[in-house]
Amino acid sequence: MPSQNPVFIPGPTNIPEALRRAVDMPTMDHRSAEFADILQPALSGVKRVLRSEAGEVFLFPATGTGGWEVAISNTLSPGDRVLAARHGMFSARWIDLCRRHGLDVVEVGAAWGESLPVHRFREILEADRDHRIRAVLATHNETATGVVSDIAALREAMDGERHPALLMVDGVSSIGSMDFRMDAWGVDVAVTGSQKGFMLPAGLAIVAMSPKALAAVESATLPRCYFDIRDMRAACPGSGYPYTPPVGLINGLRVATDMLLGEGLAAVFARHARIAEGVRRAVAAWGMSLCARRPEIWSNTVSAILTPEGFDSGALVAHAAKRYGVAFGAGLGDVAGKLFRIGHLGRLSEAQALLGLAVAEMAMADMGLELRLGTGVAAAQEYYRSKTP
């Protein structure tokens, strides 16, 4: 029988019933006037979630990886230099994508479990007197390690050096779940997807661009066709689309933004912080630690939990799925087999989080890890009881 258990991977997230119904809609003529009633509210809703008035939002049939390609292919030219840090699987993949497009990447290495090294970026930007660096890439929330980076501090460093580079931010596992301020932080390109904070199936790459980024579109010469912002800009004001749109997903995005804004962004972010802290209390009660090395960089959307040396965390994830029908995130890249991840984002409640913690405890006990059943659950329960929404 199909499993109805919630998933605890850091995306795709559990789909609320209202959004499942919103996506499941009859075929409609996307060239008709009725499509405007779906597209325009979705675009304006995303802008409000991003806290942006100046930016423009674009919806591409793709995932976050497609959003990365939209960002660079529309604003840069072959041989352009970009600055990026490699401190997790997804920051590494964006670097790889840039190199495949013929960009000159200045790569800053950092430990997996650390955040983007703003101080090192400042030093590199200060030394770049000729302003050869055209873009700075940052992963706001590194999904592989459960680490959040300070985008406001990065913008402050760029402004402190009066550097004109574009600031591009991967917010795939943060936007819609954690505070994100596109205009206030001076983000030029923000990238996310439909399948995480927006609680929808995968299939939409959501990209927002500042006026500065949109100006760069006109002079960029990297090849682009399907992901050409110019075609999208020409079509969307009249509620058209340069090709066939995923109408159901866009309708779901319209409803998802209504849900987030209806709850209130401050309440959404507080809920994620509250649930994440309960998970962290459980991890401490188990005698384990997070991959994220400092409390100030702990993510509120995913906790990456280190397992004892010599223990195969991948086997733990597989056992939980087979025995209990519950999905946790496996370790990726440099941390494969060393940790498992509990995703706590989207439309998640304290009760659902406790279910995930209880299953994690049973699976760990089954696999021979030393812990007393109920210790982590009790720690989370005590915290949740003390924190009224």
Among 260, 157, 196, residue whose Cα is nearest residue 14 = 196
- Is the pLDDT reported for residue 271 higher than 50? yes
pLDDT over threshold 70, residue 3: no
Q: Is the dihedral of CA 269, 272, 278, 280 positive or negative?
A: negative
How far is it, in rounded angstroms, from Cα 308 to Cα 336? 13
Q: Report the CATH number of the 264-386 domain.
A: 3.90.1150.10
Mean pLDDT on 99-110? 97
CATH class of 17-262: alpha beta
Which residue, 251, 253, 278, is CA-closest to 348?
A: 278
Does the pLDDT at position 231 exceed 80? yes
Report the C-alpha gap between 243 and 205 in whole angstroms: 15
1 pLDDT above the threshold of 50? no
Q: 65 with 100: CB under 8 angstroms? A: no
How much is the average pLDDT of 321-350? 96
- DSSP state, 28? -
3-state SS class at 370: coil
Name which of 132, 134, 90, 88 is nearest 293 in CA terms: 88
Domains 17-262 and 264-386 share a fold: no
- Percentage of the chain beyond pLDDT 90 is 94
Is pLDDT above 50 for 241? yes
pLDDT at position 138 is: 98
pLDDT at 353 over 90: yes
- State the angle between helix axes of 118-127 and 151-160 in degrees (0 to 180), rounded to the nearest 10: 20
Task: Give the confidence band of 33 by pLDDT, cuts at 50, 70, 90.
Answer: confident
Q: Helix, strand, coil shares of the chain as percentages rounded to 5?
A: 45, 15, 40
Model confidence at 389: pLDDT above 80: no
Domain positions in the chain: 17-262, 264-386
Does pLDDT of 12 surpass 70?
yes
Average pLDDT over the chain, rounded to an integer? 96
What is the per-residue pLDDT across 125-146, written as a single tens digit (0 to 9) for each? 999 999 999 999 999 999 999 9
Query: Which is nearest to 117 in space by CA: 139, 144, 135?
Result: 139
pLDDT at 153 over 70: yes
Q: Which residue has the higher pLDDT, 267 or 30?
A: 267
Dist. CA 330–CA 295, nearest whole Å: 22
Summarised one tens digit per residue, pLDDT across range 277-329 is 999 999 999 999 999 999 999 999 999 999 999 999 999 999 999 999 999 99
- Residue pair 370/348 in contact (Cβ under 8 Å)? The answer is no
- The string of pLDDT tens digits covering residues 37-66 is 999 999 999 999 999 999 999 999 999 999
Q: How confident is the model at residue 2 (pLDDT cuts 50, 70, 90)?
A: low
